[in-house]
Amino acid sequence: MSEAQGLHTKEFTLNVGPHHPSTHGVCRFVLQMEGEVITSVTPVIGYLHRALEKICENRTYEQIIPITDRFEYCTAMSCNMGFSLATEKLAGLEVPERAEYLRVIMLELNRIASHLIWFGTTSLDLGAITPFLYGFREREDILDMFEMTCGQRLTFNYIRPGGVSKDIPKAFIPVCKKFLDAFSAKVDDYERVLTENPIFIARNKDVGILKPETAIAYSVSGPSLRASGVKYDLRRDDPYSIYDRFDFEIPTRENGDCYDRYIVRIREMRESAKIVRQAIEQIPEGPIRSKVKMNFKPPAGEVYCRVENSRGEMGFYIQSVGEKMPLRVKMRGGSYNQLQVMPVLCVGHKIADLVAIMASMDIIMPDVDR
Amino acid sequence: MKKLVDAIRNLVVGLFTTGKHLGRHAVTLQYPTQKWEMPERSRGIVVLLSDKESGELNCTVCMLCMRACPTGAITIEFEKDEKGKRILKDFIVDNGICCFCGLCEEACNFAAIKMAGKYEFSTEDRETLIWHQDRLQEIGRGVPYEKPVRKKPAAKPAAEPPNAGDGPAAAESAQPEVTAVANPPGDAVITKPGQPAESRPAPEPPARPDENPIEGDDGKSAEDQK
Ligand code: SF4
Ligand code: SF4
């Protein structure tokens, strides 16, 4: 086209990041551009590497829990949970009934909080500021509930091997019920602002289509996988804790574009709220933590446990040699695979779509780098 | 044409949703003058608690908090009197490396250390983030706490005979003054070779915060731990 007009374009390299407002965390992309069209994407990672897995090797199992909070700080509860599950399996610890319910309540509230961050930042990346404020407003309520329970808003250190660290205070259940009652209307509000918004649709529909085969080949998991039509959710397919007792749906969509990923996450928030409501109604009285010795020593062996967090499968591999510290801890987070598949999704799109795709994949860098 | 009408309608719906907030009051707190009320369990900075009547520190120098700390933020310096009872010399918390996990508070059986809902400790200098006993005690006054009901009255640390412990503890009680300093666990990286499971040696005691030399002394308090 340009040659017809006597103009020549040359491919050029464009650097995005590492500190760019629309990269979630400190991620860097090296783009090959043909005019405005992306011809190749190379994600450069490692800027947030904190050697957390190595640090875990020098901590007792109890001491690792606050470190797992830093693995993926948007859903720290699920990191706590994954590690606790793995430790329990390794050491054969029992978890009291009430603790299981508390775990589910916290995990699902945390999933909502994480999706709210995604909702806010996605819209912000696409230029809409109002939804950002809405998302963070409701997230604030959830964080208040967490702070009321465990004392912190992000780094909870709440779910422990053998149970949870503290029982919920008396005020928790009324506050949570109030939140849940209002939440559905709030999600309606979000949808009114974005779902049908013509600008939002134009930016997202048919952008960054992730085919189910590609998604599976790249081990993409979580909502990004379900938006491509693969109904795979560990809460249903490999139930851990007591998820098999709750009645909830697993939202899926067929196209696998940015818009579908948006719809899936919005619907997941509603489903999570449903789970929390059921858990609050069924929660029994009782102890919240089984007897766990300080510096307990699980027998030698290795174990892999996984949970479904808001970015996909979060797995913990622990190798123990029967000492009070693990020999090796490895964590698998969903974001890494979602970043790996970015080059496939972006090629052929305009550079502005890179931001939309990255936002819709819900990648956060601490989950990639650790 | 219909598409355009739809688009405009949807934009108006969105605008109307945001418009609902027009008449609301602002919820912003003007920070330094107005302050948020922290929840009761809020984990702010670490403080040391004093007895409500005598004003003395509740700490019995059992070192459990130092061992529980994952970052090595707590350093306890003590000396032993002639009966072998430990006397606190200094209790140091490095707020710069504390990760506010609350494990020290959970480890303490004597309601001596607590994470208070206080958060204003920013300074211009990293060194001033290291707080010593007097400052920790001062900020801890007035922090509400419940003294745990102890099944066995607190005879334990005082009734310790001078050379109760054996091994390293006995060796140490021979010295007039013992200063225990927590090695940050990060240092332990060097002492732990990445060998295969079978040939991995036992961890070297002194390098670990939770295995400090006075292990023999307070096996009892380790059992008290839940
Ligand atoms: S655990 Fe409590 S009593 Fe023991 S040294 Fe620490 S603050 Fe003092
Ligand atoms: S809160 Fe955690 S990191 Fe801070 S001093 Fe206590 S145990 Fe150490």
* Residue boundaries of the structural domains of chain B: 36-191+206-212
What's the rounded Cα separation, in Å, for the pair A108 and A138?
Answer: 14
Eight-state DSSP code of residue B155: -
Nearest to A150 among B41, B70, B202 (CB): B41
The hierarchical CATH code for the domain A52-367 is 1.10.645.10
Chain B environment of A197 (Cβ under 8 Å):
10-11, 14
pLDDT number for residue A22: 60
What's the rounded Cα separation, in Å, for the pair A370 and A331?
Answer: 8
The residue among A290, A335, A296 whose CA lies nearest residue A315 is: A335
Give domain limits for chain A: 52-367
Say which range, A168-172, A292-296, B66-70, B181-185, has the weakest mean pLDDT.
B181-185
Task: Report yes or no: A319 at the B interface, CB cutoff 8 Å.
Answer: yes
Could you tell me the pLDDT band of residue B151, with boundaries at 50, 70 and 90?
low
Tell me which of 3.30.9, 3.30.70, 3.40.50, 1.10.260 is the CATH number of domain B36-191+206-212.
Answer: 3.30.70
What's the rounded Cα separation, in Å, for the pair B99 and B73?
Answer: 8
CA of B91 to the centre of ligand 1 (A): 10
ipTM of the prediction: 0.77
Within its chain, how far is the Cα of B158 from the centroid?
24
Nearest to B13 among A58, A192, A294 (CB): A192
B203–A323 C-beta distance less than 8 A: yes
What's the rounded Cα separation, in Å, for the pair B194 and B189?
Answer: 9
Q: Looking at ligand 2, which residue's alpha carbon is closest to its atom 2?
A: B101
User: Does the CB atom of residue B108 touch ligand 2 within 6 A?
Assistant: no
pLDDT number for residue A5: 66
- Collect all residues with Cβ–Cβ distance below 8 Å to B142 and sequence separation of at least 6: none
Q: Which residues of A211-248 are buried (b: 16+ CB within 10 A; e: fewer)?
A: eeeebeebbbbbbbbbbbbbebbbbeeeebbebeebeb
Higher pLDDT, A148 or B154: A148
pLDDT number for residue B139: 80
User: Does the CB atom of residue B129 touch ligand 2 within 6 A?
Assistant: no
Residue B226 has pLDDT above 70, yes or no: no
- The H or E element that residue B196 is part of is none
The residue among A116, A119, A129 whose CA lies nearest residue A262 is: A119
pLDDT number for residue B171: 38
Residue A259 has pLDDT above 60, yes or no: yes
Query: What's the pTM value of the predicted model, to 2 decimals?
Result: 0.80
Higher pLDDT, B159 or A336: A336
Task: Report yes or no: B210 at the A interface, CB cutoff 8 Å.
Answer: yes
Q: Looking at ligand 1, which residue's alpha carbon is closest to its atom 3?
A: B59
| Beta-carbon count within 10 A of B5 CB | 9
Could you tell me the pLDDT band of residue A328, with boundaries at 50, 70 and 90?
confident
Residue A84 has pLDDT above 80, yes or no: yes
- Enumerate the β-bridge partners of residue B130: B94
Q: Which residue has tokens 């994952």?
A: B70
